[in-house]
């Protein structure tokens, strides 16, 4: 239980609702900033204005997945107010306060470092990335089905990258009956692909392998599908780019060649916000366990 702990939520989207629910269930005192247009308010939480006074009493501060922008702007889909987390706000947090965000821009990282505040970037964690690959893969399948006139079964699907997302995606496409060919660069990934029954090729030879592709799913966060690669692709190939912005495709050249290439960011929040929220809730509450133990005098 988080009895006696004050958890402040500043901004967010549907994913935060699951985290709020979990904190209330764990008996934390919950304050919500930037939630004034919430359709069904939580009975165990109070709405607050952004102020140093509220933040000075926070044990935990939960920010949206994107944290802040480069100027401290915090987004919230539940308010029309502008929320700016300033240096004054950050400096008012107690030294023991833990700040959670999905990812943090230098603005937030620098401020937390300057004031000795612990910052946890949830999306950098392996466990969160692997759990998140589940809704990401479902979203990728949805996009593939919506944007093709063939079944995935029997289609030639290239999956570029065999990290947390690529591996989950290749496995599901293979199970659906697609002819999966994985673009990798390490011998360990070659071996794993072989073991799992996929064909593997070296990404340096990508241009030779795109020629037969019906679909290309990119998970490599680097400019991998270049103009030269696109010039080897069939004109009716569909490219679903999962890599974070700006993605891995030369979009200007794809458009010039009439190739359908789609940058598909933030799929978990789009296709399964509740599941995505539960993943965050589970991880945050797990990470707050030491606080619980301290309270109970067990450490
Ligand atoms: P990851 O585990 O780090 O996997 C990335 C893969 O790309 C690794 O296999 C890595 O190979 C490979 N790679 C990186 N640079 C390469 C290069 N220059 N040439 C060849 N291979 C290269 O990352 P992830 O968690 O799967 O996420 C992949 C991307 O998707 C990230 O940009 C992430 O932000 C994004 N993402 C998007 C969504 C969405 O909804 N669209 C959801 C989750 C994640 P090595 O292992 O050999 O380094």
Q: Which is the closest atom of ligand 1 to the Cα of 264?
A: 41
Residue owning the nearest CA to atom 11 of ligand 1: 161
Torsion over CA: 63, 67, 70, 74 (sign): negative
93-134 residue pLDDT tens: 999 999 999 999 999 999 999 999 999 999 999 999 999 999
Candidates 65, 162, 165: which one to mutate for ligand 1, based on the most atoms within 8 Å of Cβ? 165
On whether the CB atoms of residues 55 and 31 are closer than 8 A, the answer is no
Euclidean distance between CA atoms 186 and 171, whole angstroms: 18
Q: What is the mean pLDDT of residues 184-196?
A: 97
φ, ψ of residue 7 in degrees (nearest 5): -110, 125
Indicate whether residue 12 lines ligand 1 (CB < 6 A).
no
Cα dihedral across residues 278, 281, 286, 289: positive or negative: negative
SS3 of the chain: the string is: CCCCCEEEEECECHHHHHHHHHHHHCCCEEEEECCCCCCCCCCCEEEECCCHHHHCCCCEEECCCCCCCCCCEECECCCCCCEECCHHHHHCCCCCCEEEECCCCHHHHHHHHHCCCEEEEHHHCHHHHHHHHHHHHHHHHHHHHHCCCCCCCCCEEEEECCCHHHHHHHHHHHHHCCEEEEEECCHHHHHHHHHCCCEEEEHHHHHHHHHHCCEEEECCCCCCECHHHHHHCCCCCEEEECCCCCCCECHHHHHHHCCEEEECCCHHHHHCHHHHHHHHHHHHHHHCHHHHHHHHCCC
Atom of ligand 1 nearest to the CA of 242: 41
Q: Is the CB of 266 under 6 A from ligand 1?
A: yes
**Residue 291 confidence (pLDDT) above 90:** no
Ligand 1 pocket member 246 (CB < 6 A)? no
Q: What residue owns the CA closest to ligand 1's atom 46?
A: 163
pLDDT over 60 (residue 264) = yes
User: pLDDT averaged over the chain?
Assistant: 94
Beta carbon of 220 within 6 Å of any ligand 1 atom? yes
Which residue is closest in CA terms to ligand 1's atom 30? 243
Could you read off the pLDDT of 22-67 as tens digits, one per residue?
999 999 999 999 999 988 889 999 999 999 999 999 999 999 999 9
pTM to 2 decimals? 0.89
Phi, psi of 69 (to 5 degrees): -90, -170
For residue 101, the CA-to-ligand 1 centroid distance in Å is 20
Tell whether the model's pLDDT for residue 145 goes beyond 80.
yes
pLDDT at 257: 96
Q: Is the pLDDT of residue 295 over 70?
A: no
- Cα–Cα dist 157/174, whole Å: 9
Mean pLDDT over 167-192 rounds to 97
């Amino acid at each position: 239980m988080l009895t006696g702990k004050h958890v402040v939520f500043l901004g967010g989207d549907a994913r935060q609702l699951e985290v709020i629910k979990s904190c209330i269930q764990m008996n934390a005192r919950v304050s919500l900033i930037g939630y004034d247009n919430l359709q069904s308010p939580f009975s165990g939480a109070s709405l607050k204005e952004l102020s140093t006074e509220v933040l000075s009493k926070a044990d935990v501060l939960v920010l949206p997945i994107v944290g802040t922008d480069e100027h401290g702007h915090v987004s919230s889909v539940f308010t029309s107010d502008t929320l700016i987390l300033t240096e004054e706000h950050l400096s008012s947090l107690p030294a023991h306060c833990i700040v959670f965000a999905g990812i943090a821009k230098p603005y937030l990282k620098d401020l937390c470092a300057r004031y000795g505040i612990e910052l946890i970037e949830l999306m950098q964690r392996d466990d969160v990335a692997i759990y998140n690959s589940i809704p990401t893969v479902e979203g990728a399948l949805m996009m593939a089905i919506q944007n093709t006139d063939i079944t995935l079964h029997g289609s030639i699907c290239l999956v570029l990258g065999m990290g947390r997302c690529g591996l989950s995606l290749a496995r599901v496409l293979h199970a659906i009956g697609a002819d999966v060919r994985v673009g990798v660069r390490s011998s360990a990934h070659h071996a794993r692909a072989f073991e799992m029954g996929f064909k593997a090729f070296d990404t340096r030879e990508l241009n030779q392998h795109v020629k037969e592709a019906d679909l290309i799913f990119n998970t490599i966060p680097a400019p991998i599908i270049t103009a030269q690669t696109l010039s080897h692709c069939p004109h009716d190939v569909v490219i679903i780019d999962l890599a974070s912005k700006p993605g891995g495709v030369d979009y200007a050249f794809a458009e010039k060649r009439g190739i359908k290439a789609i940058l598909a960011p933030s799929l978990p929040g789009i296709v399964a916000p509740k599941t995505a929220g539960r993943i965050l809730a589970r991880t945050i509450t797990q990470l707050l366990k030491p606080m619980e133990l301290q309270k109970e005098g067990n450490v």
